[in-house]
Chain A
Amino acid sequence: MPRLRAALAGLALTTTLSVAPPLAAQKRDDQVTSFELDNGMQVVVVEDNRAPVVQHMVWYRAGSADEPVGSSGVAHFLEHLLFKATDTLADGEFSATVAANGGRDNAFTSYDYTAYFQRVAADRLELMMRMEADRMRNINFTDQNVATERDVILEERNQRTDSNPRALFSEQMNAAQYLNHRYGVPIIGWRHEMETLDKADALGFYDTYYYPNNAILVVSGDVDPDEVKALAETYYGVIPANPDLPERVRSAEPPQTAERRLIYRDARVAQSYVSRSYLAPERDPGDQTAAAALTLLAEVLGGGQTSYLTEKLQFEEQKAVFSGAFYRGATLDDTTFDVVIVPVPGLSLEEAEAAMDATLASFLEDGVDEEALERIKYQLRASEIYARDNVDNTARRYGAAMSVGLTVEDIQNWPDVLQAVTPQDIMDAARMVLNRDASVTGWLTRPEGEVTQ
């Protein structure tokens, strides 16, 4: 079995790692080794020895949905502040050191995680680990840092969200979708709360979540798992775990029993469209079948040029310039299944929405085109071959999935779970998820009285 090696390594923990099988027997998962440090930090190694480059990432199971009430944006704000001083590094010295070693570093924050990474020549891995381990517990920023960096994140919000009607629309859609869960609050934060973020807010988040037992180390590239293990024990293994790490419980969604609708108007809108999101289950540890069916539903329904929505709305009826369906299952809590239609000129949003709904209804009648499903499954199998050419992407996939509680085994089972999905599974998933009572329908358009298009 392809997943045997990683499973063994997982059991072996602090003893020796299993030996790689001969090349001829290698399958996809043989690139991946995983283990856990004594303090609870999880480690994943993805090997590719073709070029002397390494990517070093640390993922924290702490994202915007874990923020305290009233402090939206603090997870992302803290991410910025982690590039300031520590007890031993000066302001900016972290990134300067990476650059002086020919590397690149950055970080990103999402609802469920915050991650930091460097890409650098493979022989610099130890230096990266030493610095990343340092800022896990030793940040030391000033009030001046806080004031300046708060301006930076406000400019970031200006650039990403307030300058972009589509982003503002999406923000309103999410806020309407979640009645009680923090996924309804934007990752970057609401401006009025961002403006109040201070040092205590940032440190409070840091001192709750930035510990090895809440982190995942993912190293990919030209590395040897035994060496990674030794280095990880040296630098991360000595950091005490947080015995008081809070259980990851967010306020859950109640049953959603009323369809929501909204119209966002903005003079900067160049192209009006209709978007709909439905509340949808996510991938759960040991139970990924519903999410797999939804993943394939999104592909069959609106994943590409031969998908059902595209065929009907773009090619046959010629009512859409673009149509699509989207689902992302690697989240901690309930996610969304989204459909969108961008109408051709002259078609109103009302007509576009009606066309979209008629097409969804006819899909439920017609069922899955089995040939199309086979093409998609073949592409998924091929994607595992292509993925071997980019281990950094594989590493990101592991980091994101493990941040939401999925196990290495879940991740390695995922391709097989996808392949096992039947047309019946997909139609069951469609009937389950396309529930208007748990949906938000949004129109993005220009102000009333102005001509759209």
Chain B
Amino acid sequence: MIRFAMTRLMGALFVALVVTLPARAEVKIEEVVSPGGITAWLVQEPSIPFMALELRFRGGASLDAPGKRGAINLMTGLLEEGAGDLDARAFARELEGLAASFGYDIGNDALSVSASFLTENRAEAVELLRKSIIEPRFDEAALERVREQVLTGLRSDAKDPAKIARATFDAMAYGEHPYGSQYRGTIDSVTALTRADMLDAHGAVFAKDRLYVGVVGDITPAELGPLLDTLLGPLPDAGAAQPGPAEIQIKGGTTVVPFDTPQSVAVFGQRGIEQDDPDFFAARVLNQVLGAGGFESRLMTEVREKRGLTYGVSSFLIPQDHAATLQGQVASANDRIAEAVSVIRDEWARAAAEGVTQAELDAAKTFVTGAYPLRFNGNAPIARIMVGMQMLGLPIDYIATRNEKVEAVTLADVKRIAAELLDPEGLHFVVVGQPEDLENSVAN
């Protein structure tokens, strides 16, 4: 924790990758339906004596009740802080004693549970996981302790230029929709949360009608069925209603948020494209050329490689359940951010007007198709991919066909989608820092 290795690129650029599978990779997915009616996708991998389990509950933090922003996030943080007959410390001891790892993660669209446990103590691990999901205690002492941890994080966020930029952009983009506020809540909203709110939050999220399951590892279908019923059978059938679509309200322009720091951070974005849109892959390839492609992207080439204006710049498609956007991020010294913003605007306009070249298209397609196997590096990543596929309603054989969809994208497709999607007039920059030569503006 004390010493950090320097890397040449930010981790964020890796996270933004979306890729497809090669002909060679074989991922044999089978659908398992438990005696109790719970469906899971399974990849058997008996060579290492453990399994990875991924559960996802659609809705996530967007199911916060009105006035209770941050409740589901806080509730998620309490799942491992005592359950059933175990208080927080006893739960932690038991978990460590099993050498299992349970992760509980919350986002705008889903609550995720990621568990890995050994074959030799699988039953005990499943029982402990069941307690945390079905019977969390929400003890007052744990509530206060975790609440303080959340508040500590919120205070840090308030001093973090990138977080300030993100929150400002979201509020401008989505307004009153849950996406328009940060799912960790505010100091005020989190301070006011009670144990009763935790129970309500738990009931809102955990239900069978929004559950997706992926399993990879040392387990057979016959073993998995009863496991699912033990673990998830007690869940209620239904939870809180999902929020409706979010209207994207942000207009083109620039918003400066003054903050005393040597380097300005900019979050920029505009409306995007839904993942089930027939042109999604054309947009995916377009963005690969524009800003998702590591050092080869136009933004990295122009902003970093040619001008040295930044350490990293990227753009990414964000197709969420209730709104799709195209966003990006860059950081430059206060006296250089204006130039970085200007270069990005120019690249946006150039791509909108001209599309991409055949060579760029070919390189992007090779990357997007060829990089697919890199995602399948381990049981837990494959379990996560399978759950993501289910949430998108993709067929179980999708992996084998995905590259064809990328290969089918033509130069004309990209040119058309570039003109439709990229909106230089609608692109808004939120800049946090003391930027020189940048002022607030809004397009009409």
Contacts and interface: CB of A to CB of B under 8 A. Distances in A.
A257 interface: no
Contacts of B88: 305, 315
Identify the interface centre among A306, A383, A390: most chain B CB within 10 Å of its CB: A306
Contact of B49 (A170, A385, A392): A385
Interface string A64-78: 000000000000100
Interface in A124-164: 147-156, 158-160, 162-163
B100 to A, nearest CB: 8
Interface in B19-59: 19, 22, 24-25, 45, 47-50
Contacts of B368: 102
Given A270-B155, A386-B116, A389-B50, A305 B89 contact: yes
B291 to A, nearest CB: 14
Given A92-B296, A162-B262, A328 B3 contact: yes
Contacts of B294: 95, 99, 104
B371 A102 contact: yes
A385 B149 contact: no
Given A158-B263, A378-B97, A385-B48, A108 B1 contact: no
Contacts of A153: 311
B149 A322 contact: yes
B263 A159 contact: yes
Interface string B335-358: 010000000000000000000000
Interface stretch (A1-9, A47-55, A207-215, A413-421): A47-55
Contact of A119 (B3, B7, B118, B374): B374
Given A92-B296, A155-B309, A375-B97, A386 B50 contact: yes
Contact of A315 (B45, B49, B89, B369): B89
Contacts of A268: 159, 260-261
A342 B152 CA distance: 10
Contact of A100 (B25, B89, B310, B367): B367
A345 B199 CA distance: 26
**Interface centre among A147, A326, A382, by most B CB within 10 Å?**
A382
B96 A379 contact: yes
B418 to A, nearest CB: 20
Contacts of A33: none
A109 B148 CA distance: 36
Interface residues on A, range: 35 or more
Interface string A300-320: 000011100001001100100
Contacts of B189: none
A107 B8 CA distance: 6
A152 B304 contact: yes
A121 B22 contact: yes
A15 B4 CA distance: 39
B155 A271 contact: yes
Given A163-B261, A390-B377, A108 B14 contact: no
Contact of A453 (B6, B96, B97, B155): B155
A187 interface: yes
Contact of A110 (B5, B301, B336): B5
Interface string A260-280: 000000011111000001000
B238 interface: no
Nearest to A152: B308
B300 to A, nearest CB: 9
Closest 9 CB pairs of A and B: A102-B370, A151-B308, A382-B99, A305-B92, A158-B263, A156-B311, A148-B308, A270-B156, A270-B159
Interface of B: 1-9, 14, 17, 19, 22, 24-25, 45, 47-50, 88-89, 92-93, 96-97, 99, 116, 118, 145, 148-149, 152, 155-161, 260-263, 265, 293-296, 301, 304-312, 331-333, 336, 363, 366-374, 376-380
Interface of A: 50-53, 76, 79-80, 83, 91-92, 95-96, 99-104, 106-111, 119-121, 147-156, 158-160, 162-163, 167, 170, 173-174, 187-188, 267-271, 277, 304-306, 311, 314-315, 318, 321-322, 324, 326, 328, 336, 338, 342, 344-345, 375-376, 378-379, 381-383, 385-386, 388-390, 392, 453
